[in-house]
Amino acid sequence: MENAGDFKKTLDPANKRLVRRYLQFVKPYRYYLLAIVILGLLQFIVPLTGPWLMKIMIDDVLGQADSGWSLGQIVTIFASLYVMSVIVTFIRNNVMSRLGSRMVAGIRRQLYEHIQKMSQRFYDSRQVGSILSRVINDVNGAQNLVGSNVINVAFDLIMVVFAAFFLFSLSWKLALLSLWILPIYYLSFTNLNVRIRFASRSVNRQMERISGVLVERISGMKIVQSFNREQTELERFDKQSDQHVNHSMSTQILSNTLGRISQTVGYSGTLITWSVGGALVLKGELSIGSLIAFNGFLGQLYGPIQRFAEVNVTIQNAMTNIERIFEVLDIEPDVKNADNPLPLPVCRGDIRFDNVSFTYETELPVSKNGKSFDPDIVERQKPPKSFYWIPPKTKPDPLPTTTESRIALENISFHAKPGQVIALVGPSGAGKSTLINFIPRFYDVDEGAVYLDGRNIKDYDMHDLRKQIAVVLQDNILFSGTVYENIAYGRPDAPVQDVYEAAKAANAHEFISKWEKGYDTVMGERGVRLSGGQKQRLAIARALLKDPRILILDEATSALDAESEELVTEALNRLMKNRTTFVIAHRLATVVRADQIIAMDNGRIAETGTHEQLLRKGGLYKELYEKQLKAMRPTEIKQMLLS
């Protein structure tokens, strides 16, 4: 996730700007915020009036000066204020929770929407867990910025101003004496804060690595178990967790240091107040009530400062989370609609590749200073060793990466006419799967162009284009949900009869009907409870229901037994009828009957033609054909010739 490329695209994440962008998420809920502010102001009444009431009680009521106040009146005012405070706090906390939850849901939605727009390039260089970490962990962290403690910081600041005003109005000399140590706190804050932010970035980056490995290993648990690698995996996890603990401890120690500095500053202020203020009382220059009120306001000045020091780590963490959310939101999808995309209600399915070349570019993390690199671990990011008089603006330090390029296709040109079957053959790694990726625009070509019905494929509205295409892959992903929902995934509002017809044509209806719950049978994650052949046929039914003009098939045969293969083949043949079909062909029967065979080798087209033409040529295709023929059983050859 932490590619230099991503960071390059990051807008200036200086704090002010970050907060401003963050406020855009809060904007739809501004009335909640207004309610929080109004209720917060009401909450102020108790701490602001408390010390004054205390002064009246001590100097006037208990000191028996004749001021007209009775003990009963003072206690009643106190009681009313307390009741109001409890009710207001209850309502305010609820509004604040609602604001936080709503906003987080909004950010998460925006992030998910953005990730859905990304091309395969984005997914190539990222682990699923690492993407999840942004959508789950970072969004959760960002919620803390509207959490009660943090919103209260703003109110605390107002409180500090009021408290300072009252302190100076009670005794400006004492106020100056008690507050002169505040700059020490300020400078500790500016210098420790930047370090907390850096450490916090490392915490989140390490969590992303943990999440990446964890999701990968949990999905591949069968492999972990079958190779007895549980202990090794646990050790890797421990190593990652230990590093996470180290980074977290750094933030905690720094934050704790700031907290204790603010505590010491607060204690010093109180000590000065009692010693100097006490002397003033003894000299008769200050009343006891004023000293107590002064001390009360001093508490209300240092209290927020201390609270801020404690909550600061949460703020810094949340800011880092927000930085990381914007890093993803700022990545422009590289495959997107043209400015004025052409609608494509129907197409003929005429596809032409013109001199297409493509290179995979993968960004890989590397070590700094050529040190040996451990991909599981994020090294601590340290700020420059400087002294800061004002809080510095910092950007996340990009982790070093290197770009690995691999040329996958070079100068590919061919023409597929509407309704033709194009078989792609060639050795492993020749570029067959890469080639078909450009038709639904999973990637865009680097050089050359792909034309559909005579227009560059990039000119069409992507949504319309993808409506015309169905993809059936070897390892078809079915989502959790019912069998019916899976077949109707591309057309959820299709008439029930159409769904059944698609299943029948895909040779799936029979086995579905045998199940107790039929089409309402719920499938597990990735359809794990289905056999390879059943999954394949459901995927074919899903494609058939879509009724696409263009079909992309990666034939699966290896995992199927003879009976399933026959059923799948039959279903595929029905699916291919009257559509332009690109098939990565593994079965000779498909290849032999294809209208055009493209034999690929090492990213280039070695030869094209029909079966007979290519056999006559005696090149790569003939070699592949003979190799496959030799590997076939006589019964298979017979079946192929008959089909």
> Taking a C-beta distance cutoff of 8 angstroms, is the pair 505, 547 a contact?
no
Query: Do 404 and 359 contact (CB within 8 A), yes or no?
Result: no
Single residue of 270, 433, 482, 643 touching ligand ATP by CB under 6 A? 433
The residue among 296 and 431 lying less far from ligand ATP, judged by its C-beta, is 431
Please, which residue, 240 or 437, has the CB nearer to ligand ATP?
437
Amino acid in position 7: F
> Pairing relation of β-strands 447-452 and 580-584?
unpaired
To ligand ATP, the closest distance from the beta carbon of 479 in angstroms equals 23
**Whose CA is closest to 519, among 493, 483, 546, 555?**
483
Binding of residue 472 to ligand ATP (CB under 6 A): no
Token readout for 23 is 């406020």
For residue 114, give every residue at least 6 positions away whose Cβ sits within 8 Å of its Cβ, in sequence order, or none.
328, 329, 333
Taking the least distance from each CB to ligand ATP, the nearer of 416 and 435 is 435
**3-state SS string over 493-558?**
CCCHHHHHHHHHHCCCHHHHHHCCCHHHCEECHHHCCCCHHHHHHHHHHHHHHHCCCEEEEECCCC
Sort 336 into a burial class: Cβ within 10 Å, 0-12 / 13-18 / 19+. middle
- Alpha carbon 81 to chain centroid, angstroms: 45
Nearer to ligand ATP, 408 or 568 (CB): 408
Q: Is 594 exposed, middle or buried (0-12, 13-18, 19+ CB in 10 A)?
A: buried
**Which residue, 58 or 473, is less far from ligand ATP as judged by CB?**
473
What is the smallest separation between the CB atom of 426 and ligand ATP, expressed in angstroms?
6
CB of 425 to ligand ATP, least distance (A): 9
Measured from the CB of residue 404, what is the shortest distance to ligand ATP in angstroms? 8
Cα–Cα distance between 361 and 404 in angstroms, integer?
A: 6
What is the closest distance, in whole angstroms, from the C-beta atom of residue 432 to ligand ATP in the complex?
Answer: 4
Residues linked to residue 354 through DSSP beta bridges, in sequence order: 449
Check binding of 624 to ligand ATP (CB under 6 A): no
**Closer residue to ligand ATP, CB minimum distance, 89 or 602:** 602
By CB under 6 A, tell whether 109 contacts ligand ATP.
Answer: no
Q: How far is the CB of 122 from ligand ATP (least distance, A)?
A: 11
- Token code pair at residue 74: 């003072």
Residue with smaller CB distance to ligand ATP, 149 or 362: 362
Of 572 and 624, the one with the shorter C-beta distance to ligand ATP is 624
The reply to whether 581 sits near ligand ATP by the rule CB under 6 A is no
Beta bridge partners of 362: 404
Minimum CB–partner distance for residue 1 and ligand ATP (Å):
16
Q: Is residue 442 a contact point for ligand ATP (CB under 6 A)?
A: no
Shortest distance in whole angstroms from residue 576 CB to ligand ATP: 19
Q: Which helix (H) or strand (E) holds 416?
A: strand 401-416
Cα–Cα dist 373/377, whole Å: 9
User: In this structure, which amino acid lies at residue 555?
Assistant: E
Nearest approach, Cβ of 445 to ligand ATP (angstroms)?
A: 14
Minimum CB–partner distance for residue 4 and ligand ATP (Å): 17
Q: Are 395 and 557 in contact (CB under 8 A)?
A: no
Q: Is there binding between residue 482 and ligand ATP (CB under 6 A)? A: no
The whole-angstrom separation of Cα 137 and Cα 133 is: 5
Q: CA distances (Å), 570 to each of 499, 500, 556, 580, 590, in order?
A: 18, 17, 13, 18, 11
Cβ of residue 586: shortest distance to ligand ATP, in angstroms?
Answer: 9
Give the shortest CB-451-to-ligand ATP separation in angstroms. 21
What part of residues 49-88 is at the interface with ligand ATP (CB under 6 A)?
none
429 vs 609 by CB, closer to ligand ATP: 429
Place of tokens 């597990």: 524
Q: Which of residues 388-407 bind ligand ATP (CB under 6 A)?
A: 406
Q: Which of 428, 497, 558, 635 binds ligand ATP (CB under 6 A)?
A: 428
| Count of positions on this chain that bind ligand ATP (CB under 6 A) | 13
Binding ligand ATP by CB under 6 A: which of 303, 429, 609, 619?
429
- Cα dist. 239→227, 375, 567, 586, 611 in Å? 21, 11, 49, 44, 56
Closest CB to ligand ATP among 269 and 603? 603
Q: Which stretch binds ligand ATP (CB under 6 A): 219-227, 385-393, 424-432, 489-497?
A: 424-432
By CB under 6 A, residue 587 contacts ligand ATP: no
Contact string (CB under 6 A) for ligand ATP, positions 489-508, x = contact: --------------------
Contacting residue, 55, 108, 432, 546, with ligand ATP by CB under 6 A: 432
Give bridge partners of residue 358 from the DSSP assignment.
Answer: 409
Build a one-symbol-per-residue string for 112-131: x at contacts with ligand ATP by CB under 6 A, - elsewhere: ------------x-------
User: Rg (Cα) of the chain, in Å, rounded?
Assistant: 35
Question: Is the CB of 113 or the CB of 124 nearer to ligand ATP?
Answer: 124
Max Cα distance, the chain (Å): 121
C-beta of residue 21 within 8 angstroms of C-beta of residue 330 = no
Within 10 angstroms of residue 265's Cβ, the number of other Cβ atoms is 22
Beta bridge partners, 268, equal none
Give whichever of 104 and 115 is closer to ligand ATP, judged by the CB atom: 115
Kindly tell me which of 203 and 412 has the beta carbon lying closer to ligand ATP.
412
CB of 356 to ligand ATP, least distance (A): 13
Nearest to 620 by CA among 608, 603, 610, 606: 606
How far from 346 is each of 467, 529, 635, CA to CA, in Å?
A: 9, 37, 42
Query: Closer to ligand ATP at the Cβ: 347 or 450?
Result: 450
From candidates 174, 408, 416, 487, binder to ligand ATP by CB under 6 A? 408
Nearest-CA neighbor of 474 among 569, 558, 408? Answer: 558
558 sits near ligand ATP (criterion: CB under 6 A): no
Classify 469 as helix, strand or coil. Answer: strand
Binding status of residue 434 toward ligand ATP by CB under 6 A: yes
Residues in 314-373 that interact with ligand ATP by CB under 6 A? 360, 362
Q: At closest approach, how far in Å is the CB of 423 from ligand ATP?
A: 13
What does residue 445 show for φ and ψ, rounded to 5 degrees? -70, 155
H/E/C letters for each residue in 63-124? CCCCCCCCHHHHHHHHHHHHHHHHHHHHHHHHHHHHHHHHHHHHHHHHHHHHHHCCCHHHHH
Is residue 614 involved in binding ligand ATP (CB under 6 A)?
no
We find the least distance from the C-beta atom of residue 431 to ligand ATP, in angstroms, to be 4
Stretch of 74-82, 83-91, 260-268, 421-429 lying at the interface with ligand ATP (CB under 6 A): 421-429
Between 321 and 434, CB nearer to ligand ATP: 434
How many whole angstroms separate alpha carbon 404 and alpha carbon 557?
33
Under the binding rule (CB under 6 A), the answer on residue 5 touching ligand ATP is no
**Nearest-5° Cα angle at 130, 235 to 393:** 110
Q: How far is Cα 575 from Cα 572, in angstroms, rounded to an integer?
A: 5
| Site residues (vs ligand ATP, CB under 6 A) | 124, 360, 362, 406, 408, 426, 428-434
